Structure 1
Amino acid sequence: MAKKRFPSTFVPTPLFLLLLLLLLPRGEAPPIEGPPSYASFAFDAGAFPVESDYDYIVVGGGTAGCPLAATLSEGGRRVLVLERGGAPSEFPSLASPEGFLPTLVDTDAPDSPAHPFSSEDGAVPNARGRVLGGSSAINAGFYSRAHPSWFSLPRGPSWDMALVNDSYDWVERAITFRPVLRSWQSAVRDGLLEANVTPYNGFTVHHLAGTKIGATTFDSSGRRHSAADLLAFANPDRIRVALRATVDRVLLNPVPPGSRRRNQQSSAAIGVLYRDRLGRHHHAMVRPGGEVILCAGALGSPQLLLLSGVGPRPYLSSWGIPVAANLPDVGQHVYDNPRNGISIIPSIPLDHSLIQVVGIPTGEDKDAADASFLEAASNIVPFFSPPRSVFLHNPSSPLYVTVATLMEKVPGPASVGSLRLASLDARDNPIVRFNYFSNPEDLDRCVVGLRRVGDVLESRSMQEFRSVVGWLPWRGRGDFRYVGPALPANRSDRAAMEEFCRRTVATIWHYHGGCVAGKVVDGDYRVIGVGALRVVDGSTFAISPGTNPQATLMMMGRYVGRKMLAERKEKSHRRRAPWPPRRHM
């Protein structure tokens, strides 16, 4: 007798979902093997003196800040890292892939490692890292380098590609691993190839057109590695990390009228003012020749510049903030990569997986210029009310089910947003508007990407995840049990596809801009018109690099640190050089 299967019209009841929840394996954090590498020099900010001085002050111990600080400490200089969150070891859920979604959903605690915010347009939920390691400590762990063309963008920095590749290698030796593909990821890989997202590039950290398996920052035991692990390379005698340290503003002094720097700089950083978790204020000052480097992310860095008096003069004056440098583009040119896709309850059990396989359009694809990247995941997904968008856009039931997702991300994008202050308190998120799909080009890319998602769903590789029509297996191929909206039945109906894009838009957490290179910082990431102050993070990006920015951000921290050490060494040599002997007439 044929085994009964759920019909395609089956709707899970609350009792069914509750039983499913009880039967599903729940992930646990892998065992901790010892104290983290930074344990000997990371302390609560309350333990730091009220006033102290350093050669380099790194504001933000995140994806770029940790490798930057570790590198700067190698030069023998005193380095201070100010991180507004705690250590990853304080949040066991961060250590395993199973903790990814709960971390992004359970953000009510004031010290949550994922600090929630919503964009004004459509109130699309989002999150920013608030923990040592930054967003690399709370993300899906996918690691992939930027496309080589990203390094030759107009108005961008002039990159030393030998040092770029050396910096990537430095990161990858420490925290990247080859993932093991299981059922859903393998099916997506095969489905992408059936949908002509070719060639197949296998496992690679490079950005290559076609279908590929990227690296992961979760090791073979399932333990996460993040930018915080790169602090293992720091000189422990020359670095200190202050946890739960909120920087209120950068301290700026005007450049004296007679100074030789007066023509290029109106002011210079002399330190920062920060507070510990008890509200006590601390001054961290820079020594002669030192610098303040903002690594506070695409929201935090432009916010701190504005609070410090660096930004558009009329806007700062409206807040009563003394203007130190008139830079109209601070907080402008802000972008987020819109994400759309589908989620299904598969007809067979699935292993938990985060993003491992991506599809990147090829140059031979007639839609390549307008297409988007395709990614997938399978998770035990929480359904909460009010809705909290994670991989699902509108979860509604307070239970857990295994859900498989297939999504597309619009690269670029062309739609431009902006950021402004919500208050004069640095602890408050700024107000951000991304203006999703305000540029028709992004909507075109979304439609093309979702059509390709539909092609993957119709592939032979996806058949096993469909439910069966009726009670007998030979009744037909069945259909998917969707969680949330399904793609329009007629994918050639452009109006319906555009409406689906607008209705289901979500973030993939790759927001960037606000301190864009060539507008706010120069090619060496120095803030234009301000001495001893740089910004080194995703706020300087006009375009997010490749399928995922974390690899490039960590590389960037290492790269800029190496460049800064070389600059300081060269200046030191020039100061010590003897005067040339006088020539006798």
Structure 2
Amino acid sequence: MPRDGSGEREPFDFIIVGAGTAGCLLANRLSGNPARRVLLLEAGPRDTYPWIHIPVGYLYCIGNPRTDWLYQTEAEPGLNGRRLRYPRGKTLGGCSSINGMIYMRGQARDYDGWAAETGEDAWSWANCLPDFKAHEDHYRLDDGADPPTGDNSRFSDLHGHGGEWRIEKQRLKWDILESFAEAAVQAGVPRSADFNTGDNEGVGYFEVNQRSGWRWSTSKAFLRPIRERTNLNVWTQAQVERLLFVSGEDGRPRCNGLRLLRDGEAIEVMARREVILCAGAIGSPQILQLSGVGPAPLLTANGIDVVHELPGVGENLQDHLQIRAVFKIDGARTLNTLAGNVVGKARIGLEYLLRRSGPMSMAPSQLGAFTRSDPGLSHPNLEYHVQPLSLEAFGEPLHAFPAFTASVCNLNPTSRGSVRIRSNQAGDAPAIAPNYLSTEEDRKVAADSLRQVRAIVGQPALARYRPVEWKPGAAFQSDEELTRLAGDIASTIFHPVGTTRMGRADDALAVVDPHLRVRGVAGLRVVDAGVMPAITSGNTNSPTLMIAEKTAGWIARGE
């Protein structure tokens, strides 16, 4: 790992706040020039906790203070007053060290929409594709791999090889998932061999960020290979308290450093060129607000002097809400029963030890599907995460009966929430209010999606397992009933975005410009999922990595 260098007080060229998905890539790219001194800050510890690296270990990382910020949402009216656990990674690698490892770009229309909204064509799908490929190392392009055929004949045009970000196929299959895929086809969902072409419609197995059965995090991918670089300093257990500003030559405030707490010591570190916030859609708006950049009424209410008013900081929170329908079954192997006793757990452990395969190698969700809640839609607006297991929530015990879970989420929610500080203390968690199911459109999609789950499960391919709907319960049929029940069983799928969104100069709520520079403030950028103006139609980790790749190029060119 790059050196600590914590005793140094000479200014750095770049200070990166947050060693998560975006921060690790930026540290790699910016320190590639030996003339630049780069400091990467992480509030959590190094990624030495063993469960980070075993794929099923997400069960032991979520809700664990060693690896998770332990956030909770506010009581959500759309979820019938429930509060949700809101995991965010707090270790090297950030969320890539505790997430579901699914490699998913979204849909081409997502990025074309960003380009239209920001006026910057660099965000179009055609211009984002090279940034996805730049760090990609796809197993299908390995020497000796089966050559792509049929619809995948242009695979190398769409995917990269030899980069840092490893993508592999999953190392197990389940009969119940094979049957669910066939049932989806019988219900009109086509097969998909590649969810990452720009059109992800179809059913198939997710590809995952793993290497030989181990989790592949951004810390492993982008920091470990450059451990000998002397111009990169990585400080862990370093929590930023606030940014520092001076008056710039043009009259604007200029961010020239920050104050942090490390090992009980308050330290100020300075940046000659830029401070780059990569603390995520929760952490970055919190740091901005604590530093006097944000909505003036919120800042003054918390005793913070306004450095620069930006009313959009912390607003526009978007997330994917998954409705977790559970079906009891007969005659099929599921993780519930396989791991239900000591002998079963021992067999699972031995298989992983010997072959790096089996349930310990699996991502939280193995089978995916993208389809429409309404056949009149021009694009898939639903994503399924199908699992050969059931439990009340991730981090809680498996149920004692055989079952599978068909989680379905609205890819394009219209509900908008917020992230707002509660005090002027960095150690106090912000108020996170996603505002789920707050629009009529989102409530309609929730009810329609549950009906679609039932239609798939009712197909002949699953009949031999005699599925019985355990949650939400087949007795509930009306839109009102299904929406209320969705509120009872739905949970976040851990994809918060949008709280520091990019936009045009005339967009009053845009926090950063299309090159991710904070509006009205010099020397400061935000590079993480918070800059997305609209959430991508799929899992958000790899789009965040693409954002960092693109921005690294801009920074290198002084743009």
Quickly name the TM-score band, shorter chain normalised.
Answer: 0.7 to 0.9
Partner of 1:528: 519
Instruction: Please tell me whether the aligned partners of residues 472 and 489 of structure 2 are also in contact (alpha carbons under 8 angstroms).
Output: no
Distance 1:418 1:439 in 2: 15
Deviation at 1:508? Answer: 0.4
Q: Distance in 1 between matches of 2:407 and 2:72?
A: 22
Residues 42 and 243 in structure 1, CA contact (< 8 A), matched pair in contact too: no
- Tell me the equivalent position of 2:485: 500
Q: CA deviation at 1:117?
A: 2.2
**Following superposition of structure 1 onto structure 2, how do residues 316-331 of structure 1 map, counting pairs within 5 Å?**
316-331=299-314
Equivalence for 1:516: 501
The 1:346/1:116 distance shift into structure 2, 3 A limit, reads farther
Tell me which residue corresponds to 1:139: 99
- Report the equivalent of 1:152: 112
Distance 1:420 1:362, change over 3 A: closer
- When residues 295 and 123 of structure 1 are mapped into structure 2, their CA distance, relative to the original with a 3 A threshold, is same
Q: Residues 329-388 of structure 1, C-alpha deviation per residue, up to 9 Å, x if partnerless?
A: 11111122211021245433235343233221269933566842112123485x6xxxxx
- Indicate how the Cα distance of structure 1 residues 440 and 399 shifts in structure 2: closer, same or farther if over 3 A, else same: closer
Measured after TM superposition, the shift of residue 59 of structure 1 is 0.3
- Give 1:147 deviation, angstroms: 1.3
1:210 is aligned to 202
1:16 alignment partner in structure 2: none
Amino acid at match of 2:468: F
Deviation sequence 1:120-144 (CA, Å, 0-9, x none): 3121222111111111110111111
Say yes or no: does 1:376 pair with 2:386. yes
Deviation at 1:542, TM superposition (A): 2.6
Among candidates 52, 61, 80, match of residue 94 of structure 1 = 52
- Give the conservation status (yes or no) of the 8 Å contact 2:390–2:405: no
SS at 2:484 equivalent: helix
| CA distance in structure 1 between the aligned counterparts of 2:304 and 2:102, rounded to whole angstroms | 40
- The residue that corresponds to 1:342 in the other structure is 325
Give RMSD over aligned pairs.
2.5
Aligned 8 A contact 1:512 1:539 in 2: yes
Q: What is the deviation of 1:211?
A: 2.0
CA distance in 1: counterparts of 2:177 and 2:398, whole angstroms? 27
> What does the per-residue CA deviation read over 1:265-315, in whole Å, with 9 as the maximum and x for residues that have no partner?
x20110111111x2101222112xx10000000110000000111012222
Structure 1: runs of 5+ lacking an equivalent = 1-38, 384-388, 467-478, 569-585
Give 1:6's aligned residue: none
CA contact (8 A) 1:66 1:557 kept: no
Partner of 1:302: 285
What is the SS of the residue equivalent to 1:55? strand
Where does 1:326-475 land on structure 2 (aligned, <5 Å)? 326-347=309-330, 348-350=332-334, 352=359, 353=362, 354-361=364-371, 365-366=375-376, 371-379=381-389, 381=391, 389-390=393-394, 404-466=404-466
User: How far, CA to CA, are the matches of 1:380 and 1:407 in structure 2?
Assistant: 10
Q: How far off is 1:543 after superposition?
A: 1.9
The residue that corresponds to 2:468 in the other structure is 480
Matched, 1:179 2:179: no
SS at match of 1:514: coil
**What is the alpha-carbon distance in structure 2 between the residues aligned to residue 214 and residue 103 of structure 1?**
21
1:230 maps to 2:222: yes
Query: Helix, strand or coil for the counterpart of 1:247?
Result: strand
Would the alpha carbon gap of residues 204 and 408 (structure 1) be closer, same or farther in structure 2, given more than 3 Å must change?
closer
8 Å CA contact retained: 1:408, 1:449: yes
The equivalent residue for 1:561 is: 552
Task: Tell me whether 532-541 or 554-563 shows the greater mean CA deviation.
Answer: 554-563
Q: How does 1:30-45 map to 2 (within 5 A)?
A: 39=1, 41=2, 43=4
Distance in 2 (alpha carbons) for counterparts of 1:181 and 1:190? 17
Distance change >3 Å, CA 95–CA 464, structure 1 → 2? farther
2:16 corresponds to 1:52: no
**Corresponding residue pairs, total:** 485
Distance 1:414 1:426, change over 3 A: same
In the alignment, is residue 71 of structure 1 matched against residue 3 of structure 2? no
How far does residue 460 in structure 1 lie from its aligned partner after superposition?
Answer: 2.7
Distance 1:143 1:231, change over 3 A: same
1:129·1:138 contact (CA, 8 Å) conserved in 2?
Answer: yes
Structure 2 CA distance for aligned equivalents of residues 73 and 402 of structure 1: 50
* Equivalent AA in structure 1 for residue 521 of structure 2: V
Per-residue deviation, 1:401: 6.8
Q: 1:338, 1:507 within 8 Å by CA — same for their partners in 2?
A: yes
Match of 1:249 in 2: 242
3-state SS of paired residue (2:404): strand
Query: What's the TM-score, normalizing by structure 1?
Result: 0.77
Q: Pick one of 282, 290, 294 that aligns with 2:267.
A: 282
Q: Cα gap change, 1:114/1:202 in structure 2, threshold over 3 Å: closer, same or farther?
A: farther
Q: Which residue of 2 aligns with 1:476?
A: none
The letter of the residue matching 1:267 is: P
User: Residue deviations 1:402-444, cap 9 Å, x none?
Assistant: 6521111111211111121122222322001111111111111
Which residue is 2:73 aligned to?
Answer: 118
Q: Give me the whole-angstrom Cα distance separating, in 2, the residues matched to 1:177 and 1:435.
A: 35
Q: Please report how far the alpha carbon of residue 66 of structure 1 lies from its aligned counterpart in structure 2 after TM superposition.
A: 0.8
Q: How does 1:21-36 map to 2 (within 5 A)?
A: none
Whole-angstrom distance in 2 between the partners of 1:70 and 1:401:
47
2:320–2:496 Cα contact (<8 Å) kept: yes
Tell me, yes or no, if the aligned pair for 1:331 and 1:420 is still in contact at 8 Å.
Answer: yes
Change (3 A) 1:158 1:367: closer
The CA distance in 1 between the partners of 2:519 and 2:456, in whole Å, is 47
Is 1:166–2:130 an aligned residue pair?
yes
Distance 1:213 1:566 in 2: 39
1:360–1:481 CA distance, 2 compared to 1 (3 A): closer
- The answer (yes or no) to whether the contact 2:444–2:479 under 8 Å persists in 1 is no
Q: Is 1:177–1:217's contact at 8 Å kept on the other side of the alignment? A: yes
Q: What is the deviation of 1:84?
A: 0.7
Larger deviation: 75-84 or 162-171? 162-171
Contact 1:103 1:114 in 2 (8 A): no
Q: Which residue of 1 aligns with 2:140?
A: none
Quick one: which amino acid aligns to residue 555 of structure 2? M
Contact kept, 8 Å, 1:72 with 1:562, in 2: the verdict is no
- Spell out, residue by residue over 1:517-545, the C-alpha distance to the aligned partner (whole angstroms, 9 max, x if none): 12100000000000000000111123221
Structure 2 unmatched runs, 5+: 77-81, 138-163, 336-358, 504-509
The question of 1:312 aligning with 2:295 is answered yes
1-side partners of 2:485 and 2:399: how far apart?
Answer: 26
Alignment check: 8 A CA contact 2:44 2:90 kept: yes
CA distance in 2, matches of 1:370, 1:170: 27
Residues 253 and 378 of structure 1: CA distance in aligned 2, closer, same or farther (over 3 Å)? farther
Q: 1:360 to 1:368 in 2, by over 3 A?
A: farther
Is residue 96–residue 218 contact of structure 1 (8 Å, CA) maintained in 2? no
- Distance in 1 separating the partners of 2:417 and 2:40: 30
- In structure 2, what is the Cα distance between the partners aligned to 1:52 and 1:548? 40
Larger Rg: 1
